[in-house]
Structures are given as C-alpha cells and as structure tokens.
Amino acid sequence: MAKYFDVHPENPQRRTIDSVVDMIRGGKLVAYPTDSCFALGCQLGNRDGISRIRSIRNLDDRHHFTLVCQNFAQLGQFVQIDNDVFRAIKAATPGSYTFILPATSEVPRQLLHPKKKTVGVRIPDHVVTQALLAELGEPLLSSTLLLPDEAEPMTQGWEIKERLDHEVDAVLDSGDCGTEPTTVIDFSGGDVEIVRRGAGDTSRFE
C-alpha cells in the first residue's frame, strides 16, 4: 500500500520532503508533481524501479527515460552539450521541456536508448520538485505518469493513490499540476527535432 504525503505547493514541509527522499534512497518508487503533470520517479541506479516504471506504463526498451535535474551544472554531468545547444537549453530552463542528448558515461546503460545512446534530461520549474532534488542531491530518474491506453496523465494525487496503490510506494501531492506533459526537443541528431509539442513553447526551437 502506497504512503500518501500532502505537501504545501509553495512552502513544502521539510519533514515531508525528507521522508520522501529517504524512501527514494531506500529503493522505492514514488509518484510526484512537476511543472507539467505528475511523474513516476526513483533513484538513478534503481533497477527494480526502472522495471516497475516500464511495467506500469507498458514501455519498451526504446523509451527515453528522463533525468530530472536540479540545475544546469547537474544536467551537464550526464549529457554531452556543445556550445550552440548549451545556449539554447540554458535559455529555456528551468521549464516544461525535456531535451534528448547523447549521454555521458555517468548514465547507467539500462537507461539509454539502445541504438542512439541518448537520454532525456530536464530542469523543472516547480517548487516541490526542486525541494526533492535539492535534498536528494542527484537527478531523479523519471517518466510521465501516463497509463497505457489513456490519452492524458492523471492530475489528482488521491486518484493516483487509488489507482496505483499496490504499484508505487508513495504519492506526493501538492495539488493539481496540469495534464500537459513536457515539450520534447531532440538535439542528438545534429538538427533540432521537436519530438512532442507539450507545455513548453516550441517557437524558440523552430
């Protein structure tokens, strides 16, 4: 049965954040809010967590997992960025974007796209997510909480708790965070490719 944590959206309680981070460090899988809908998250090297996310979402090995980073310095440890891409991403973060880039050796192999050796990265503009990341001290391995055969992600913490009570270990709820997932921009092929149009404005990349 999943633990349910209700946290203030602008001033998240430190004790609650600490409890959720302790669970993440202990190998647990959590559902948490971002600036573009809820996500499933676990620690970077958590093989069981990765497997559970794949199972919940019915994902194949071509799915790009996302490393949700606290800041640009952290993001730069896990992906390769040239100067032009650096400027483009820097101008758009923090925000509702996921960027697909070549991964560095810091990224566990099971997270990489099998052919491209790429991974998704993002820096969210959300107080609760940033509080989690600050306490965790490393990126959170994540995937949008979008269930198979459903058009939109779930937006209510109580609904997630009800639906996934035996599939996740915790639900962190700070209120409605919308149904629109991130805009996904692929920089890995040389040219800029807009993979998914979502919450982030695409005009700067077109």
Cα distance between residue 143 and residue 50, in whole Å: 10
Q: In angstroms, how far apart are the furthest CA atoms of the chain?
A: 47
What was the pLDDT predicted at 152?
Answer: 82
User: pLDDT tens for residues 132-144?
Assistant: 999 999 999 999 9
Confidence category of residue 34, pLDDT binned at 50, 70, 90: very high
Domain containing 10 equals 3-205
Cα-Cα-Cα-Cα dihedral sign, residues 27, 29, 33, 38: positive
Confidence category of residue 129, pLDDT binned at 50, 70, 90: very high
Cα distance between residue 134 and residue 132, in whole Å: 6
Gyration radius from the chain CA atoms: 16
Alpha carbons within 13 angstroms on the beta-carbon side of residue 21 total 18
21-27 mean pLDDT: 98
37-62 mean pLDDT: 93
* pTM to 2 decimal places: 0.94
Confidence category of residue 71, pLDDT binned at 50, 70, 90: very high
Domain count along the chain: 1
**What residues have CB less than 8 Å from 168, skipping those under 6 apart?**
2, 29, 30, 31, 40, 52, 56, 160
Q: Is the pLDDT of residue 96 over 90?
A: yes
CATH of the domain at 55: 3.90.870.10
CB 77 within 8 A of CB 106: yes
3 state SS of 62: coil
